Structure 1
């Protein structure tokens, strides 16, 4: 683990694998750093940089007090510090909330390209009724942290329903350790619920927006909206792939990414 010296209270910690151009991999809401393990063998020509997001291991000193409307800005600033810490202009590769953070970071960071798999953006009509953060917070206040995290997993990972969630969780590698992240996930969800996609995102670097047909419909809709708001963007939709695309089908995703980077 590499750790930079704190600047303005921000300590940046990350793992680095291999040599080559830095490929900064930003995980999503409930995923640990290990989420990227299936992806790394497909990018051996790059130097994979995997940070711990604020609140997920290495954090800002005052992360627990960070308001929801500050979360995305603080995470984007964290990524910008990371961009400054690595040699050369990196590529940002983000999944879900990590994808939204990658796009926001690239508005003011020297990066070569951005890869965004289903950025955590809510369509306007969906966002206006979103209440996941409130429902999770109420369960946490009642002392039921496990149920709070289950509500997140149901809505984000299984929006079409699941027959036996407990059986699925029993096979999920990060369960139940991820319950420790409950408060951070509430803050993250509030940030997502408050985020409004601008008509134009000021990202100069080329961006590849990825989505899958087996993920939530609202995220596929948002992926198209993010694509439309970017000046230099390509949209690729994978048939039969879910919201967990990079971990679920790493070879397929990597092939699309490399084709894009070769053309960009």
Structure 2
């Protein structure tokens, strides 16, 4: 593993292995350690793993960045990474990282884009979405852990969970997630404001993945994203949740390899 720093933009990233670069973009509830489970399955590539702005490094002060500006900010940092690595990389994004990957690919030279349940809300669902407000109210009341629990219940356990506290006690990244409460609120506001266009101007081929055990609205959105792309393949995993790449890394990696072999 090597660590590098792109001085012009204050972006730090880790690189694991050698070969064609794959830029791995984590979602809203985990730092870059999210990709640890995936690394053994991408050994033929150079896995480039940054932390999103607000998660340890940033292009600007995330506390002063509006929800409307967050996606623009994050797409720009991905484009900076694309310019920093050798050749045309592959973008691999999970959740909000998936949305960022697609947005960045509209104006970046990449070989391919791979996304797992990009954080896009169907129009009918988006109009009623209030998760950011509910989380912000809890954070303002000093209940940061409860704010993050609302996100976990909404996205990771949409069908309910019998003992959330017991589950969290066994979840290694839980303390770090509480520290990220404000950034997750800003991210959710960005998601709630984002409207998927009828057509996404992405020239590179895209693999869109989803799972049957995650939120139904994200499965619906995955299909909508697939339909909005000019060159896209859609894969649905039976029995896999929103945490697909880390939950089922071997299965997702097999689909990724098949996709890359076909382009």
TM-score, structure 2 length as denominator? 0.98
- Per-residue deviation, 1:61: 3.2
Deviation at 1:12, TM superposition (A): 1.3
1:36 alignment counterpart: 35
Partner residue, 2:6: 4
| TM-score, scaled relative to structure 1 | 0.98
Q: Secondary structure at the match of 1:28?
A: coil
Query: What's the C-alpha RMSD, in Å, of the aligned pairs?
Result: 0.7
Cross-structure match for 2:251 = 252
Post-superposition Cα deviations, 1:83-110, rounded to whole Å, max 9, x if no partner, equal: 0000100000000000000000000000
Correspondences of 1:1-264 after superposition (within 5 Å): 1-6=3-8, 10-264=9-263
1:63 is displaced (CA, Å) by 1.7
> How far apart, in 1, do the equivalents of 2:178 and 2:59 lie?
20
Instruction: Give the C-alpha shift of residue 148 in structure 1.
Output: 0.7
Q: Alignment length, in residue pairs?
A: 261
Does the CA-based 8 Å contact 2:11-2:59 persist in structure 1? no
Shift of residue 226, structure 1, vs aligned partner: 0.1
SS, match of residue 37 in structure 1: helix
Q: Which secondary structure state, in structure 2, belongs to the residue aligned with residue 214 of structure 1?
A: coil
Cα contact 2:59–2:77 (8 A) shared by 1: no
- Measured after TM superposition, the shift of residue 62 of structure 1 is 2.0
Give the SS at the match of 1:98. helix
Whole-angstrom CA distance in 2 between matches of 1:139 and 1:241: 30
Give the superposition deviation at 1:133. 0.3
What is the CA–CA distance in structure 2 between the aligned matches of 1:144 and 1:213, rounded to whole Å? 32
Deviations 1:131-188 (A, max 9, x none): 0000011111111111111111111111111111100100111112211101000000
Structure 1 residue 60 displacement after superposition? 2.5
Q: Which runs of 5+ in 1 are unaligned?
A: none
Runs of 4+ more than 4 Å apart:
none
Q: Are the equivalent residues in 1 in contact too, given 2:15–2:46 (CA < 8 A)?
A: yes
Secondary structure of the residue that 1:108 maps to in structure 2?
coil
Structure 2 residues without counterparts, runs of 5 or longer: none
